[in-house]
Structure 1
Amino acid sequence: MTIHLDHLTVPARDKLASAKRLAELLGVPCSGTGIGPFAPVYVSDSLTLDFDEWIDPVPMLHYCFRVEQEAFDAILERIKAAGIPYRSSVHGRTDFQIDTTHGGSIVYWNEPDGHQWEMLTVSYARPV
C-alpha cells in the first residue's frame, strides 16, 4: 500500500493573509476566501496546506518544499521582490545567501507568525 500525505494544518493569526502570501510566493493556487474553517493552499496535486486561524499562541513549525531548480529560482525571485529576509542556514542569521553544500540549492525564510519555510532542490533528508 502506498501512503500519501494529503494535507497539513498550519496555524496562523490571519489564515487568509498567510495562505495568500505563501500561495503567491510558491506560485500555486489558494482558495482565496477559505473553505469551512480553513484557507487551503494547493501546493501540488497531492498536498494541501490548510491554514487555520488561532487565537492561542502559534508554535513555530518547519515546512520544507522540494522543487526543481527552475521553480527554486522563480520562487526565490518572488521572495526577494516581496522584501522577505532569507538565509542559507536553518538556525542562522539573515544572510541573503543560498546553501549549496548538499548538492543542490537550499534557502530558508520565516512567515510573520514565526513558521519556518525551507525550499530545496535536492533532499538531504533521504538518500537519492
Structure 2
Amino acid sequence: MSIELNHTIVHASDRDVTAAFLTDVLGLPEAPVYGPFRVVELGNGVSLDIVAHPGPVTVQHYAFLVGDDEFDAIHARILERGLSFWADPFHRQEGVINRNDGGRGLYWSDPDGHNLEIITVPYGG
C-alpha cells in the first residue's frame, strides 16, 4: 500500500464558521459533524477535520489543486464575497493572480487567518 494523506486537523476559533466558509468558497458540500469535528471532504479522499480550539489559533497554510473551471468558480466566489486575495504567500501582490509553473494560483485567508491557496498546476509544473 502506498502512503497517502487521509486527513488533517484544522484548528479554528469557531468550527462551524470555518467549515461553512471553506465549503462555501470552495463550492463543496456542507461539512458533516463527526465527534468534535466538522469534516470538509475534498475530491481526492482527504479531509480537513475542523475543530474548535480554545485560545489563539496558530496560522497554517492549506493548498488546493483545482481544475481551471474550479479555479474560475472559486475566484468568482472570492470576488462576490469581497475577500482580499494575493498572488503570493506573503500577501504583497493584492488582487493579482499568479501564473506560476504555467498555471494560475492565488491566496486568501480564512476567518482565523489560515493562508489558503488554489493552484491549477502543481509546483514544478
Q: Same fold (TM over 0.5)?
A: yes
User: Residue 61 of structure 1 contacts residue 116 of structure 1 at CA under 8 Å; is this kept in 2?
Assistant: yes
3-state SS of 2:101 partner: coil
Q: 3-state DSSP class of the match of 1:11?
A: strand
Corresponding position of 2:45: 46
In the alignment of these two chains, the number of paired residues is: 125
State how far apart, in whole Å, the 2-side matches of 1:21 and 1:101 are.
Answer: 26
Residue 56 (structure 1) aligned with residue 32 (structure 2): no
**CA deviation profile, 1:40-97 (whole Å, cap 9, x unmatched):** 1112241111100011210010000001111100111011111110010110335111
- Matched residue SS, 1:16: helix
TM-score normalised by length of structure 1: 0.91
Structure 2, unpaired ranges of 5+: none
TM-score w.r.t. structure 2 length?
A: 0.93
Q: 1:99 to 1:51 in 2, by over 3 A?
A: same
State the secondary structure of the residue aligned to 1:50. Answer: strand
The residue identity in structure 1 corresponding to 2:77 is R
Residue 82 of structure 1 is matched in structure 2 by 81
Q: Which residue of 2 aligns with 1:72?
A: 71
1:21 is the counterpart of 2:47: no
Q: Is the 8 A contact 2:23 2:31 kept in 1?
A: no
Q: What is the root-mean-square deviation in Å for CA atoms of aligned residues?
A: 1.4
